[in-house]
Amino acid sequence: MRIIFFAGKGGVGKTSVAAATGIRAAETGKKTVIMSLDVAHSLSDIFDLDKDLLDQNKGKPFEVRKNLWIQELDISEEMEKNWGVIHRYLSTLFNTTGLDSILAEELAILPGMEEISLLLYINSYAQKKKYDVIILDCAPTGESLRFISIPTTLEWYMKKLFKLEKTIVKVARPVAKKVYSLPLPGDDYFDAIEYLFERLRGVDQLLVDQETTSVRLVTNPEKIVLKETQRAFMYFYLYRMNIDGIIVNRILPDDVEDAYFEDWRESQKKHIEKVEEYFSPVPTFHVKLFKDEIFGYESLKAFAEQIYGERNPLERFFDGEPYSLIKENGEYRLVMKLPFIMKQDVELNKISDELIVRVGSFKRHLLLPRHVAASKEVKARLEGEYLYIHFKGEDHGKTEK
């Protein structure tokens, strides 16, 4: 089975690239589903599908060609299916504070709910082996990074807070009913969270399995877009996901010789050189700007030909380990590849059995093996694009940076 994420800044052409890749995969005989992770779905638009067909299959995967399905989730349906009890409690809670009932229902749709619904589908499809290939058309960079961080965040919550929170509420509920106007969650609320977590079990390992899952970053040869691509590259590495390709989209063709585009061509040339410099040895794919809108099956098929040529899009174009934990001379050492960062961008904290790595506004909780977690001394240094974290001693202690 193969799972391929296409991520990048909004407007770089992720949906076109994902759709084209899905077509090429399906034509090799693999059962392929393309899923949209963006709230503003455009998969069906780019395939130029009939509106009646969309209405009949709303939120469900439906076949557009042999071996090829697309799926755009219906958030309202997913709310009831996966979040019914939780959403109703939050709606009631907001409503009791004086908010209008409709506004309360809207506010009860918390960030991450749709992403978890998508993770549930990915996990289910993988476990049931329903498809050979899952292509994921990601939302713009910030939202897709939240998507991949959800499994580890949920795991941390379930291990660290869930049981304590459930016990406290159970003890406090009888008293709170008499003196407190706001409702406390019932057992069905906690049961729903636990059931949700059980259905997600294993998806975190699926996302970091290099044999199965790859990330391909789509970018344009422009300074601002390239900066965001660098950040995305680093954050995906932080979450240990394998990036096996950089797709540079919308490069001006050589036959465009108009003087009006001369400065633009020179600018693109410089940025393309930077792409090779920044992301090597991860391979890059150069894609020329189409002379017409990419729209419909045949147009997408031609686009796939330009991206991959004779190559199979299901190949793993690059194998690289984002970080590793080794033992050497009685000392444990965690090595993380974090390109494009400075020393001041990184903050480390060790609390009990976990190491918290914060890079900018994102953080990763790493649960440490028992012997590593017992370290008395933790030191770190940044050399080039690698962060070296050394664990020494046998007791808990403070983290030094």
Block mean pLDDT (10 aa), the chain, length 401: 94 94 97 84 84 74 93 76 75 73 65 75 93 91 72 80 83 70 79 86 90 96 92 84 95 86 92 90 93 91 95 93 80 88 88 84 78 85 90 55 39
Radius of gyration of the chain (CA): 24
Buried b (16+ CB within 10 A) or exposed e, 181-216: eeebbeeebbebbeebbebbeebbebbbebebbbbb
For residues 25 and 313, give the distance between their C-alpha atoms in angstroms, rounded to a whole number: 7
Predicted local distance difference test score (pLDDT) of residue 285: 97
Predicted local distance difference test score (pLDDT) of residue 48: 86
For residues 36 and 365, give the distance between their C-alpha atoms in angstroms, rounded to a whole number: 27
- Residue 296 has which token pair? 């419909």
- Residue 314 has which token pair? 């299901």
Predicted local distance difference test score (pLDDT) of residue 109: 63
3-state secondary structure the chain: CEEEEEECCCCCCHHHHHHHHHHHHHHCCCCEEEEECCCCCCHHHHCCCCHHHHHHCCCCCEEEECCEEEEECCHHHHHHHHHHHHHHHHHHHHHHCCCCHHHHHHHCCCCCHHHHHHHHHHHHHHHHCCCCEEEEECCCHHHHHHHHHHHHHHHHHHHHHHHHHHHHHHHHHHHHHHHCCCCCCCHHHHHHHHHHHHHHCCHHHHHHCCCCEEEEEEECCCHHHHHHHHHHHHHHHHCCCCEEEEEEEEECCCCCCCHHHHHHHHHHHHHHHHHHHHHCCCCEEEEECCCCCCCCHHHHHHHHHHHHCCCCCCCCCCCCCCEEEEEECCEEEEEEECCCCCHHHEEEEEECCEEEEEECCEEEEEECCHHHHCCCEEEEEEECCEEEEEEECCCCCCECC
Q: What is the pTM of this model?
A: 0.79
For residues 133 and 91, give the distance between their C-alpha atoms in angstroms, rounded to a whole number: 37
Q: Quick one: fold of 323-392?
A: Immunoglobulin-like (2.60.40)
Predicted local distance difference test score (pLDDT) of residue 172: 80
Contact 241, 320 (CB under 8 A): no
Domain borders along the chain are 2-74+116-140+205-307, 76-111+146-203, 323-392
Closest to 136 in 3D by CA, of 246, 41, 232? 41
- Residue 59 has which token pair? 């939120």
One fold for 2-74+116-140+205-307 and 323-392? no
For residues 56 and 77, give the distance between their C-alpha atoms in angstroms, rounded to a whole number: 14
Contacts of 262 (CB under 8 A, 6+ apart): none
Domain at 2-74+116-140+205-307: CATH architecture: 3-Layer(aba) Sandwich (3.40)
